[in-house]
Structure 1
Amino acid sequence: MKDKIRVLVSNLPLPYQGIGSWTFEFNYFLEKNKFFDFVLSPNKEGDSSYIFSAKRKWFPGSQFVRQKALTDWVAKDYLSELLKIGQKKLPVQILVIDDQALLEAVCTIKTQLPQGSEIIFYYHGHALKLNPSLAHLTDKVFFLTEAGYLESLNINNEFTPEVHIVGNGVSSVIFHPLVADEKTSLRESMGFERKDIIICWMANSRPVKGIHLFGKLIPKLLELDPRIKIVTIGHEPNTLWENDRLFQIGKKTSQEVAKYLQLSDYYFFTSLWKEGFGLSLVEAIKCGNFILCSDNGGIKDVVSTYPNVHLIDKPNILNSWIEAFKEQLLKPNVDTKQQFQFSDFEEFYSLDSWEKRLKRGLA
């Protein structure tokens, strides 16, 4: 007999049709599991389980009546549906994904839900700052890394929720390393050569991802060795970067991204903010790249078990990246798969391992 009703609350439509980060793993979870009884999201193609709920925009002057605007307008759909679900008289376990306004709104109706109901917040940033009154009403917080939890503990005078380190998950079917012959074949099919030393960089155009610094690194990296070629993914093309050995390929699907990561040798992750996790970082690792990445936010936790990584502790200093890369170029070629077995790549932050961590947290 059912002892609780599980509800997933999202400000993005689920299942999600676009290119996303956590949306990909939740698409996987929802397709594989009948775990949540209800999913509240702005998906207009819903049914009795997937219920359309839209987060409305704040209106001018709403800051003066914030609480009422939040509950009676911004989060009205979600609260109305949750209260209907609460009428079933079973405790309601509510998982709010990465939206603090929705978390705050849901907490306002906690006393109106059946006894034993539980509110859980899945946070996809690094350090979480919560008002103590909100923290007291939040039963659990799911963090991406232990570093994120510890920094949250440090910046809050009171932090009362139970905590689980859930992380993220990446498809091992899409992202996986290739054996040498497969890698050579893929390179040749995509216009590269066996002898090329291929660097990959992937992010959007925001300065916090270090795009402006990587732009300054490009000529310095190319002059180190004539075999070096650079592939950049996910950002708007930059005419100042144009070079015969640089390929700006824009936004791609996960399957297309995987091919470029599989043919690459090095992955630069130049994040300049307190990174919550770094999903592309894991994708690059799972494809067998040597990683050069900022030691920022939760990144060190994410790469802690991977042997082929160089953490840059001064990521704003260009020479830190150049010297680290030169050091790797001077080393004998090492097949990363000799140090990290194929089974290790498969398990490394896989969707299946993430699913197990998520279910443990919701138990």
Structure 2
Amino acid sequence: MILISQLELPSSKIGSWTTLYKNYLEGNHNIDYIICPEPETKFETVTYQYTSNNFIDKIKSKIYKKSHLSALSALKKILKKEENYNIQVVDNFKIVPDIVTLLQEKGFRENCKIQFFYHGFPPFLDREKGEQFFKNIDEMVLLTKDSYQAHLDFYASVPCKFSILPNGIDTSKFHPLETLKKQQLKESLHLTGKNVFLWCSQDRPKKGLDIVLELWKKNSFPDCILLVIGSSRNENLPGVSFLGRIPNSDLPQYYQVSDVYLFPTLCQEGFGLSLIEALSCGCYCIASALGGVPEVLHYGKLGKLIANPNSIPEWENAINEYLTLSENTYKLPKDLYSFEEWRKGMNHIINESKIF
């Protein structure tokens, strides 16, 4: 089993799939080799081949018109003709044709299966390139069934296996607090007596923070406070607290202290890891009905979906609706999005793809 990653693993950068692979590789896993840039720390249970992107590599890539020569060179060092391999690629569409060419030139294609993990939602390639891409791989792994349906609707032919593997989180860290403990946490963070709303993401226009801030500028919710995590803005808005970037280890307490999680994405999210972190901590979730989000929220059974997320009045109405409720009626089934279920799913996908 060979994993090819554009990012070092474990990664110093925050990301849903890098976090999942870190947790996976620290426990029971089925990966033998990782091809990636050299990380600061290493997993002891895998063999590494490192990629580089220095000046010489860039020159070679221009000459040979291949942007992944370093990864291909690392792959060649691993492959042996008498062995069978499963090659797992994460989100890197461009490298796949080069891998296929290498395997064909070396006579290894029949010895290898290529699994492609896609963490977006909509079809990434145009119809012509996409249909050729699916001929090159053996399996595409998506986050939701709705994404699979979007691919079926877009492409005339998808001649490879498809599997679905939803994201998972560490439920030992992300879990709800008992009422008294939540009150004590609110008190320690100076949030006593407030309805606490949370927005947590990278501050890019497509993440919808401006939609939420527009509501608080209207001062429509006087007994509510909005916590903003992940934004470096320094605006002085009544009822809004900009907390900047928070270490991953500290995030659970902010979900746990919050009553409502706002997920106003303006793009077709593949899944939304922060959404299930909030759900697992007992938050009432209000989210855009885009991409994989409706499936994650079981089409409204686990949270409030906003059909027109660019419409500020729809968000205002949804928040006011929450404020009239006596309790959060949305309950997350046990282990629905747990990391252990993700691990089982990953190991199943790997075992099913083995060449005997």
TM-score normalised by length of structure 2: 0.89
Where do 1:104-143 residues align within 5 Å? 104-111=97-104, 112=106, 113=108, 115-130=110-125, 131=129, 132-143=131-142
- Report the equivalent of 1:313: 307
Q: Are the equivalent residues in 2 in contact too, given 1:129–1:152 (CA < 8 A)?
A: no
The Cα of 1:44 is off from its aligned counterpart by 4.8
Q: Are the equivalent residues in 1 in contact too, given 2:306–2:315 (CA < 8 A)?
A: yes
Which among 76, 81, 87 is matched to residue 83 of structure 1? 76
The Cα of 1:85 is off from its aligned counterpart by 2.0
- Report the equivalent of 1:340: 331
Per-residue CA deviations over 1:210-229 (Å, capped at 9, x if unaligned) read: 12222212223x423x3211
CA distance in 2, matches of 1:34, 1:351: 13
Q: Does 1:263 align with 2:262?
A: no
The Cα of 1:171 is off from its aligned counterpart by 1.1
Where do 1:19-38 residues align within 5 Å? 19-38=14-33
Q: Does 1:233 align with 2:229?
A: yes
Per-residue CA deviations over 1:93-142 (Å, capped at 9, x if unaligned) read: 00001111222322222323262310010001002344222210100000
CA distance in 1, matches of 2:257, 2:93: 39
Where do 1:9-88 residues align within 5 Å? 9-44=4-39, 49-54=47-52, 68-70=64-66, 74-88=67-81
Per-residue CA deviations over 1:261-290 (Å, capped at 9, x if unaligned) read: 101111110000111001111111111011
The Cα of 1:255 is off from its aligned counterpart by 2.5
SS in 1 for 2:8: coil
CA distance in 1, matches of 2:102, 2:311: 49
SS in 2 for 1:360: helix
- Report the equivalent of 1:165: 164
The Cα of 1:334 is off from its aligned counterpart by 1.2
After superposition, the Cα gap between the structure-2 partners of 1:34 and 1:325, relative to the gap in structure 1 and judged at 3 Å, is: closer
Per-residue CA deviations over 1:237-263 (Å, capped at 9, x if unaligned) read: 142xx1342111011122222111101
After superposition, the Cα gap between the structure-2 partners of 1:315 and 1:122, relative to the gap in structure 1 and judged at 3 Å, is: same
Per-residue CA deviations over 1:36-68 (Å, capped at 9, x if unaligned) read: 1101110255687022123679969x89x8xx4
Q: Percent of aligned positions with the same letter in both sequences?
A: 29
Segments of structure 2 that go 5 or more residues without pairing to the other structure are 352-356
- Report the equivalent of 2:148: 149
CA distance in 1, matches of 2:39, 2:338: 30
After superposition, the Cα gap between the structure-2 partners of 1:321 and 1:56, relative to the gap in structure 1 and judged at 3 Å, is: farther
- Report the equivalent of 1:182: 181
Where do 1:186-201 residues align within 5 Å? 186-193=185-192, 195-201=193-199
The Cα of 1:88 is off from its aligned counterpart by 4.9
SS in 2 for 1:141: strand
Q: Does 1:223 align with 2:220?
A: yes
Structure 1 residue identity aligned to 2:70? D
- Report the equivalent of 1:3: none
CA distance in 2, matches of 1:137, 1:243: 52
CA distance in 1, matches of 2:203, 2:34: 32
- Report the equivalent of 1:303: 297
CA distance in 2, matches of 1:55, 1:352: 35
Structure 2 residue identity aligned to 1:19? I
Structure 1 residue identity aligned to 2:223? R
The Cα of 1:163 is off from its aligned counterpart by 0.4
CA distance in 1, matches of 2:133, 2:234: 44
Q: Are the equivalent residues in 2 in contact too, given 1:118–1:139 (CA < 8 A)?
A: yes
- Report the equivalent of 2:91: 98
SS in 2 for 1:247: strand
